[in-house]
Amino acid sequence: MTLPTQSIQPAPAIEFRNVSISFDEVQALRNVSFALHPGEMICVTGDSSSGKSVLLRLALGFLRPDEGEVLINGQDITAMEETGLLELRRDKLGMVFQENSLFTGQTVYDNTAYRLADRNTPDDEIERAVVEILTFVGLQDELDKQAEELSGGMKRRLELARALIGWPSIMLFDEPTAGLDPINANLVLELIIRARDLHQTASLLVTKMLWEIPYLAKHQAIEDASGSHIEEVPSHLPGVRVLVLEEGKVAFSGRPDEFLQSPLPAVQHLLHPVTGVLRDSLEVADPWRQNRKMAARMREKMLEPVTQGSLADPAENNGGKKPNP
């Protein structure tokens, strides 16, 4: 008799099992558990000091939990030696930090190549990979520029290129659009979507901008004979989830539509922080809707000069008032 073959499910890309950590007797995370699988995305949000950045640093092995386990691709990194952690970060993990981490005094090429050069990768392989990833982020004509010569949006795309070179299976993003104008924020999100969908990258993304969640959940990268492009889908993608942290605890975990409908105080506080007026769609939280057509044109000619006024502060057309986040 032939027994039925059972498919072996791959281990989660990132898994937290009852993780807790404290600093000076103040608990930063309390009993946090979740699993991120290959090709999935978890958007982590919450108030300041809720533990979002601590969670990323634990996933990178920069911090060790007081209790619980952190697993990367099924491997417990909680007690891993630093040499093993360095190898893991180099081969499996990419990270886009909130703050600028580019090497000043080095060219775009050298900044991008650093990750592979650190692995002693042959020069011809490095060159191919650098050209590929810089083309992916639209900086292929800026190879010889110094990093400090780039605009803010171009610097953020270079940060993405540095993290994505070699296509690590796991990406961590700490507020990747922070400080960017609407057009560049949109471009960065679309690059993140392309990496997620076309390369099956597992993504852990921290954000305080709630409009980003439905955008990431309702846009998908498609590749066909004409190349790759972004399409809006009618319903939220099943591989995108939301994790809300409140005072170091998981206050909510679920789909974006469940997040919108949740009556939990921690969720309602984020959705309606001032007025308390209920919104019928998370899309309302997108302050950049008026710039979508402009962003589409920018994607087609990413490297051409932007016409005066296209990067204007949204406040200029709103009587000096900033749009609600």
Look at residue 7 in the predicted model and tell me its pLDDT: 62
Between these two residues, 8 and 107, which has the higher pLDDT value? 107
Between these two residues, 318 and 10, which has the higher pLDDT value? 10
pLDDT above 60: residue 234: yes
pLDDT tens-place string over residues 77-110: 998 999 999 999 988 999 998 878 898 899 999 9
Average pLDDT over residues 215-227: 92
Average pLDDT over residues 237-260: 96
Look at residue 1 in the predicted model and tell me its pLDDT: 53
pLDDT above 90: residue 313: no
Q: Is residue 280 very low, low, confident or very high in pLDDT (cuts 50, 70, 90)?
A: very low
pLDDT tens-place string over residues 30-40: 999 999 999 99
CA distance 297 to 293: 6
User: Angle at Cα 222 formed by Cα 284 and Cα 199, nearest 5°?
Assistant: 100
pLDDT above 70: residue 55: yes
pLDDT above 60: residue 133: yes
pLDDT above 80: residue 281: no
* Burial bucket for residue 320 (CB in 10 Å: 0-12, 13-18, 19+): exposed
pLDDT above 50: residue 176: yes
- Which span out of 88-102, 264-278, 280-294 was modeled with the highest average pLDDT? 88-102
Give the chain's count of helices (H) and strands (E). 10, 12
pLDDT above 80: residue 285: no
Look at residue 100 in the predicted model and tell me its pLDDT: 80
Average pLDDT over residues 17-26: 95
User: Angle at Cα 194 formed by Cα 287 and Cα 218, nearest 5°?
Assistant: 45
Threshold 0.95, pTM exceeds: no
pLDDT above 70: residue 225: yes
Average pLDDT over residues 301-316: 42
Q: Is residue 10 very low, low, confident or very high in pLDDT (cuts 50, 70, 90)?
A: confident
pLDDT above 90: residue 312: no
- The beta strand positions in the chain, using DSSP E, are 14-23, 26-36, 41-46, 67-72, 75-76, 93-96, 170-174, 202-206, 219-224, 227-232, 240-246, 249-254
Average confidence score pLDDT of the chain: 85
Q: Is residue 272 very low, low, confident or very high in pLDDT (cuts 50, 70, 90)?
A: confident
Look at residue 289 in the predicted model and tell me its pLDDT: 46
Nearest by Cα to 15 from 36, 1, 42, 30: 36
Q: What share of the chain is helix, strand, coil (3-state, %, to 5)?
A: 35, 25, 40
